[in-house]
């Protein structure tokens, strides 16, 4: 079963060919980072226009790299939400046209479920039950994926997503967009224990990152107003440590409380090496198997969408050609 995946929910125009939901034959990502960098964040209108420019080439490249012809594709899986509506519509319209012209099934995929499915790619795919921490630019969710692939949301952020906290903190430090990789790089030169930023560790499984962002801003303002010297690298490292501590603590607590010994990471922030190392150590200590997709499958890509589409197809969940973009779909269907 060959699925063409298409992903255009934010600032990456991505296309991939995946066999049987697991084996990646191609994974093409046309990044717009350089364009949006100038503005310090994603400009939705520009993102849509760039997707229109890139989508045809990205799909052609994905087919070429997979050594696959259009008519050999069995189905098209496409992200239909959540995301930027104008950006989503480009991928969705392209996928519908492809589906109609070649008479192949169309499968709408929830972007967050797609991120989770990055753990199904490769030779040793994850199997439920497991706890999954989804940490991206727009979402921070702690989920329990049950035996029947039903997904139960254990907690979510009340304010900023983890990636958003990275992006906003990076901007305050004058670092380029996207903030995650910039902070990760600078943090390597800093002392993570230099500044004790707050950790929002409430008893429930929800998250909150806006207090941490404010604490960083307050610290920077205070230092600047007092004319005191400070190390940006120490701020980056201390901020990152606060995020990583909270994410590790909450994910591990959920595994232990629910007696589930498999933990999966997903979403752009899970490409962060400090987070991966902290999770690795905590899981090792508690005898929990950790799944963390290779970094290229953590950030937005179409292979994860094709993988998710495969499981939807197996369940007969085919979409009709009137499928619309839904920027706010936050609910998870389970697979």
Residue ranges in contact with Zn ion by CB under 5 A: 136, 300
DSSP label of 320 = P
Is the preceding peptide bond at 159 cis, omega within 30 degrees of 0?
A: no
User: Tokens 């990583």, residue?
Assistant: 244
Binding residues for ligand KG4, rule CB under 6 A, total: 19
HSE-CB for 48 with a 13 A CA cutoff: 12
Asked if 179 is part of the footprint of ligand KG4 (rule: CB under 6 A), the reply reads yes
3-state SS class at 138: coil
Name which of residues 134 to 163 contact ligand KG4 (CB under 6 A).
Answer: 136-138, 163
Q: Which does 293 bind (CB under 5 to 8 A by kind): ligand KG4, Zn ion, none?
A: none
Given the complex with Zn ion, which of 161 and 195 has the nearer CB atom?
161
**Near ligand KG4 by CB under 6 A, which window of 122-130, 177-185, 284-292, 307-315?**
177-185
**Contacting residue, 267, 279, 312, 319, with ligand KG4 by CB under 6 A:** 267
Asked if 271 is part of the footprint of ligand KG4 (rule: CB under 6 A), the reply reads yes
Given the complex with ligand KG4, which of 42 and 195 has the nearer CB atom?
42
**Contacting residue, 108, 181, 190, 309, with ligand KG4 by CB under 6 A:** 181
The per-residue DSSP string of 50-93 comes to HHHHHHHHHHHHHHHHTT--GGG--EEEEEEESS-HHHHHHHHH
**Contacting residue, 27, 238, 248, 299, with ligand KG4 by CB under 6 A:** 299
Give the strand order in the sheet containing 289-291.
Answer: 151-156, 140-145, 130-135, 262-266, 289-291
Given the complex with Zn ion, which of 110 and 278 has the nearer CB atom?
110
**Contacting residue, 94, 130, 166, 209, with ligand KG4 by CB under 6 A:** 166
Q: How many CB atoms lie within 10 A of CB 147?
A: 8
Q: Which does 167 bind (CB under 5 to 8 A by kind): ligand KG4, Zn ion, none?
A: ligand KG4
Asked if 206 is part of the footprint of ligand KG4 (rule: CB under 6 A), the reply reads no
Which residues lie closer than 8 Å to 218 by C-beta, 6 or more apart?
none
Q: Residue 183 in contact with residue 170, Cβ under 8 Å?
A: yes
DSSP label of 267 = S
| Residues at the contact surface with ligand KG4, assessed by CB under 6 A | 10, 136-138, 163, 166-167, 178-181, 184, 267-269, 271-272, 299-300
């Amino acid at each position: 079963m060959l699925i063409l995946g298409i992903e255009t929910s934010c600032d990456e125009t991505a296309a991939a060919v995946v066999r049987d939901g697991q084996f990646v034959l191609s994974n093409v990502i046309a990044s717009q980072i350089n364009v949006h960098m100038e503005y310090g964040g994603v400009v939705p209108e520009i993102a849509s226009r760039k997707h229109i420019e890139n989508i045809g080439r990205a799909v052609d490249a994905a087919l070429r790299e997979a050594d696959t012809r259009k008519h050999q594709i069995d189905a098209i899986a496409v992200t239909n939400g959540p995301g930027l509506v104008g950006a989503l519509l480009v991928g969705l319209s392209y996928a519908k046209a492809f589906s109609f012209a070649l008479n192949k099934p169309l499968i709408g995929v929830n972007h967050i479920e797609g991120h989770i499915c990055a753990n199904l790619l490769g030779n040793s795919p994850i199997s439920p039950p497991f706890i999954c921490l989804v940490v991206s630019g727009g979402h921070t969710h702690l989920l329990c994926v049950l035996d029947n692939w039903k997904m139960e949301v254990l907690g979510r952020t009340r304010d900023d997503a983890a990636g958003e906290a990275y992006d906003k903190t990076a901007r305050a430090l004058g670092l380029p967009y996207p903030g995650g990789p910039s902070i990760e790089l600078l943090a390597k030169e800093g002392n993570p224990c230099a500044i004790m930023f707050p950790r929002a560790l409430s008893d429930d499984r929800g998250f909150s990152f806006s207090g941490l962002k404010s604490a960083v801003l307050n610290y920077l303002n205070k230092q600047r107003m007092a004319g005191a010297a400070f190390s940006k690298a120490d701020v980056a490292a201390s901020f990152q440590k606060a995020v990583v501590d909270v994410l590790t603590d909450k994910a591990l607590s959920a595994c232990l409380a629910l007696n589930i010994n498999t933990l999966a990471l997903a979403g752009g922030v899970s490409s962060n090496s400090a987070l991966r190392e902290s999770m690795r150590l905590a899981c090792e200590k508690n005898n929990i198997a950790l799944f963390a997709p290779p970094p290229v499958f953590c950030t937005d890509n179409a292979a994860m969408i094709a993988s998710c589409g495969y499981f939807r197809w197996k369940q007969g969940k085919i979409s009709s050609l009137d499928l619309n973009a839904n920027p706010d779909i936050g609910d998870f269907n389970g697979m």
